[in-house]
Structure formats: structure tokens, C-alpha cells
């Protein structure tokens, strides 16, 4: 098993991070409204386009369902888009991030700057204001129905499912997924580690009850401490510029995924809400030898004829596949 090294320019699987245009795919935006289309024909063209889109979507659900019925198990590869239907932010671009954290916007602090070990050293109350707010949000937010429906689909298969997710929110476990069948490649906000790595211990954050001044994005109560050195503790998540992330918990999860995969001859990867800006989940999904079903409203394109792209959000896509399988929800 390869070791998951924390590196400021690499993701947890050791692959260099890339820009939002990592796969170089051209835009799939329709050009049907070109200047050559007469105005009198626009309504007819629109009706045909909508009819074609609906037919293609149904066909995609049917194809995805056929792949699943032949599989022994599901590999669920989930990015930030999986949580959007639960009401969780996906931090698309600086403006999207600052709309969620206006105090950071007023100070011009970008996501990459606050989500870093340096932020905990330079302004720990601010860093824990950001992560403490997220911890409270993730604890209080119920997962959307798609999580349970996806689990119902997996239960029809002999080996059920294994989850690979870049999300740190713990929504799969909150939905009832077996923690032993979840790999959180960027760690989990529900665990802590020492900021200075004085110990290899990774501890649950259940005792942390953040009191946050949302107007200033600051944590008001006592900051979490490392029980060994009594210094500052931080979330056990992979951050930007992070040489100190303790990957031991994620490495153990990867070992369990390897063991699960060793007994699988035929599986389907269902990739949900995985973008290209930090493409850990997409690269993981595309590296499998199995067929891929990609649910993504903005970037649904797939590259192999056996794969299926479904251009909708997470819950809608999962519900569509369940309907095609005849699974009530």
C-alpha cells in the first residue's frame, strides 16, 4: 500500500494538483441559438432541444441501471457537489466562499489562506472561527435523501458499496453508512490532531463545542488543545500548504478499500459532484477499471463508451437511477 504523503502541492493520493481545466475538455454549452437560426424558428428548436434532453436523460438512467444490475458492488466517489442538496456550500470561487464567510471577504482572505496550518499559527481564533463554524454546520445539517437511496441501491448487490470521498463533513456516516467502508481522502473535521505533530494520536472532536462570532469569524471559547503537549489542536484534514497532516486514519481506510476491491471482479463507480479544480475524486474514479457513472450538473462529460454522464445534481441523479432500477423512494 502506498503511503499518503501530505504535500503542499499534491493531493492525498500523491498526484500533483491541477487547475480547473485539468482535462482540457471543451465546453458542452449548446450552440443551437447561433445567428443563422431565424427568429421564427426559435420556439420549435427550443421544444425539440428540450424533448431531446429529456429523452437522453431517461436513456442515461436506463444505461446506468443496467450497469448496476451486472455489478457485484458500488464504488461511490463523492465530491463537494454531493452535499449541495443538503444545503452545504461548495465554495465555488472566491465570491462564493466570501458570500458564506463575509468577515473573511471584508479582509480579503481567500479559502486557500484560511484553510492552512499557517492560519492556525498566525491567528488561531480566526482559523478555528472558520473551522468551528463548519464543524457546527456539518453536525447540524441532515443529509439529503439521496444518501439513503444510494444505500438502498447498494444493498441490492452482493458486496454492497465502498465510499471514496474528498468531503470532510461526515455525511455518509451520518446517513448510516458503515464507517469501515468509507475512505475520506482529505480527512475528517470530526477528528483532531496536534498542530505541531508532537504525537501520532488522532482524536475525535466530540468534546469541541465551538462558540462562534459569525460577524468576525472568530471562536470565542477555549480553543481545542492537544492532550499530550497542551498546545493547539487542529482538524485532522488535509489543508493547503500542509506538510503536517497526519494521514494515519486515511491510510487505514485505504487499506480497507484495497481489501474490499481485492474481492471484486465487476463493480460500477458512481461519481457524484466531483469537480476539476481539485480533482482527487475524478482522478480516482477514472483510474478504476470499472464502468463509470458520472453525476455532475456542470461537468458530466465521460471519455469511454462504456461510461455514462448524467448532467444533473446529486439527489436528482440518484433518484433517477433508483427509478430506472424500480427501487421506491
Q: So which residues are the catalytic ones?
A: 186
Element holding 254 (H helix, E strand): helix 248-262
Q: Which residues contact 46 (CB under 8 A, 6 or more apart)?
A: none
Residue with cell 489543508: 239
Q: How far apart are CA 100 and CA 15, in angstroms?
A: 29
**4: DSSP letter:** -
Which grid cell sits at 144?
Answer: 439529503
Helix axes 314-325, 42-69, angle to 10 degrees: 60
Nearest to 178 by CA among 162, 159, 198: 162
Q: How far apart are CA 285 and CA 75, in angstroms?
A: 8
Q: How far apart are CA 295 and CA 309, in angstroms?
A: 6
C-alpha 278 chain-centroid distance: 10
**144: DSSP letter:** P
Amino acid at each position: 500500500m502506498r503511503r499518503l504523503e501530505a504535500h503542499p502541492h499534491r493531493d492525498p493520493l500523491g498526484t500533483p494538483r491541477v487547475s480547473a481545466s485539468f482535462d482540457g475538455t471543451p465546453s458542452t454549452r449548446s450552440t443551437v441559438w447561433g445567428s443563422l437560426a431565424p427568429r421564427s424558428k426559435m420556439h420549435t428548436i427550443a421544444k425539440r432541444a428540450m424533448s431531446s434532453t429529456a429523452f437522453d436523460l431517461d436513456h442515461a438512467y436506463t444505461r446506468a441501471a443496467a450497469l448496476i444490475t451486472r455489478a457485484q458492488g458500488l464504488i461511490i466517489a463523492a465530491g463537494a457537489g454531493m452535499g449541495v442538496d443538503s444545503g452545504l456550500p461548495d465554495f465555488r470561487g472566491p465570491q462564493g466562499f466570501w458570500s458564506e464567510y463575509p468577515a473573511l471577504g471584508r479582509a480579503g482572505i481567500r479559502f486557500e489562506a484560511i484553510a492552512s496550518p499557517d492560519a492556525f499559527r498566525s491567528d488561531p481564533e480566526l482559523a478555528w472561527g472558520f473551522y468551528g463554524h463548519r464543524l457546527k454546520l456539518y453536525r447540524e445539517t441532515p443529509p439529503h435523501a439521496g444518501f439513503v437511496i444510494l444505500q438502498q441501491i447498494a444493498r441490492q448487490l452482493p458486496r454492497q458499496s465502498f465510499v471514496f470521498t474528498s468531503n470532510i463533513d461526515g455525511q455518509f456516516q451520518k446517513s448510516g453508512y458503515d464507517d469501515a467502508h468509507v475512505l475520506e481522502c482529505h480527512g475528517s473535521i470530526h477528528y483532531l490532531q496536534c498542530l505541531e505533530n508532537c504525537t501520532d494520536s488522532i482524536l475525535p472532536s466530540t468534546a469541541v463545542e465551538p462558540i462562534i462570532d459569525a460577524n468576525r469569524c472568530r471562536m470565542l471559547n477555549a480553543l481545542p488543545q492537544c492532550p499530550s503537549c497542551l498546545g493547539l489542536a487542529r482538524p485532522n484534514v488535509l489543508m493547503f500548504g500542509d506538510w503536517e497532516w497526519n494521514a494515519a486514519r486515511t491510510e487505514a481506510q485505504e487499506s480497507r478499500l484495497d481489501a474490499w476491491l481485492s474481492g471484486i471482479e465487476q463493480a460500477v463507480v458512481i461519481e457524484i459532484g466531483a469537480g476539476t479544480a481539485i480533482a482527487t475524486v475524478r482522478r480516482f474514479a477514472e483510474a478504476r477499471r470499472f464502468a463509470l457513472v458520472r453525476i455532475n450538473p456542470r461537468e458530466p462529460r465521460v471519455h469511454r463508451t462504456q461510461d455514462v454522464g448524467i448532467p444533473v445534481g446529486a439527489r436528482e441523479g440518484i433518484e433517477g437511477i433508483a427509478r430506472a432500477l424500480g427501487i421506491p423512494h
